[in-house]
């Protein structure tokens, strides 16, 4: 087998849109979202949004990443991989011109599998951040609106397979169930090179 036949490429996009319920952010602080995505071999890629004030909790910022690897590693990433989103704040006060370290306000983990469950291969949703501490009565945990997308243009065979309504093997003839998406993705990765 030619070593290049086993290679695959997928384009992924992460979006950080806005936040709400930022009652826990100290006055005068800025805040941002840090994202971690698995890069294989226990490595991670880190993305960080720009810092905004607590009075304007909007980023509308996207990060793109082209993932290359074996077909099996791409399947594994989409079926088992996750993206970790951390909402962080930084005090506006600096000492001797040095930026202060950030403080973790909350964390959420979103599996790439949720993107595969979407008929459009993209998801936009609010994720509630786990704070790790008990919140006072009436205080809601912070939430961040995020987007995740796998670019269908990179895997055109998947789109074609779904449009042709090929069966996933379970007798299903729909175009949006997880089994059909995985069947189409598998076909795309088999014929991508």
What does the pLDDT look like over 17-36, one tens digit per residue? Answer: 999 987 766 667 888 999 99
Q: Is the pTM of this model over 0.75?
A: no
**How many whole angstroms separate alpha carbon 167 and alpha carbon 165?**
6
pLDDT score for 96: 65
What are the structural domains of the chain? 7-151 (2.60.40.150), 155-193 (no CATH)
How many other C-beta atoms can be found within 10 angstroms of the C-beta atom of residue 42?
Answer: 6
Q: In this structure, what are the phi and psi dihedrals at residue 100, rounded to the nearest 5 degrees?
A: -75, 155
| Rounded mean pLDDT, 136-153 | 86
Query: 142, 16 in Cβ contact below 8 A?
Result: no
Q: Quote the tokens at residue 37.
A: 């995505």
Phi, psi (rounded to 5 degrees) for 54: -70, -15
Decide which of 163 and 152 is more confident: 152
Determine phi and psi for 20, rounding to 5 degrees: -145, 170
pLDDT band at 91, cuts 50/70/90? Answer: confident
Average pLDDT, the chain: 76
pLDDT tens profile 31-56: 899 999 987 777 889 999 999 987 88
């Amino acid at each position: 087998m030619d070593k290049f036949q086993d290679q695959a490429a997928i384009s992924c996009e992460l979006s950080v849109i806005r936040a709400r319920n930022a009652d826990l952010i100290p006055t005068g602080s800025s805040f941002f979202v840090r994202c971690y995505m698995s890069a294989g071999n226990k490595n991670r890629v880190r993305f960080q949004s720009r810092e905004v004030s607590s009075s304007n909790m909007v980023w509308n910022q996207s990060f793109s990443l082209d993932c290359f690897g074996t077909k099996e590693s791409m399947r594994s990433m989409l079926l088992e991989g996750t993206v970790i989103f951390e909402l962080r704040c930084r005090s506006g006060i600096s000492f001797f011109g040095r930026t202060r370290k950030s403080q973790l306000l909350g964390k959420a983990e979103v599996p790439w599998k949720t993107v595969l469950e979407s008929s459009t291969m993209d998801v936009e949703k609010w994720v509630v951040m786990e704070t790790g501490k008990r919140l006072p009565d009436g205080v809601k945990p912070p939430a961040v609106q995020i987007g995740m997308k796998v670019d269908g243009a990179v895997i055109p065979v998947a789109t074609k397979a779904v449009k042709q309504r090929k069966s996933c093997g379970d007798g299903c003839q729909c175009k949006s169930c997880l089994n059909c998406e995985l069947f189409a993705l598998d076909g795309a990765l088999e014929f991508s090179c």
